[in-house]
Amino acid sequence: MRKVLVAVLIVAAIGGAYALFDSRSDADEVGGPVAMNTPLPPLEGDSVSGGRVDFADLRGHVAVVNVWATWCAPCRAEQPGLARAADRYADRGVRFVGPNYQDNRAAARAWVDEFDVPYESLFDEQGRYADDLGFPYLPDTYVVDADGTIRWAIYGETNEEELSGLIDEVLAQQAS
Is residue 107 a part of any domain in this protein? yes
Whole-structure pTM over 0.85, yes or no?
no
Please, are residues 166 and 157 in contact by the beta-carbon 8 Å criterion? no
Is residue 7 a part of any domain in this protein? no
Residue 142 clears pLDDT 60, i.e. is over it: yes
Of 63, 72, 74, 69, which Cα lies nearest the Cα of 163? Answer: 63
Per-residue pLDDT of 57-114, as tens digits, reads: 888 999 999 999 999 999 999 999 999 999 999 999 999 999 999 999 999 999 999 9
Per-residue pLDDT of 22-66, as tens digits, reads: 333 333 445 589 999 999 998 789 999 888 998 888 889 999 999
Which DSSP string corresponds to 3-52? HHHHHHHHHHHHHHHHHHH----TT--TTSEEEEEEEPPP-EEEBTTSSE
User: Which range of residues forms the domain containing residue 85?
Assistant: 26-175
Is residue 9 a part of any domain in this protein? no
Is residue 12 a part of any domain in this protein? no
CATH number at residue 138: 3.40.30.10
Residue 17 clears pLDDT 80, i.e. is over it: no
Determine if the peptide bond prior to 139 is cis (ω within 30°): yes
- For residue 42, which amino acid is it? P
- For residue 64, which amino acid is it? V
Please, are residues 120 and 47 in contact by the beta-carbon 8 Å criterion? yes
Is residue 50 a part of any domain in this protein? yes
Q: Give the pLDDT score at 1.
A: 53
How many structural domains comprise the chain? Answer: 1
State how far the Cα of 83 lies from the Cα of 13, in Å rounded to an integer. Answer: 40
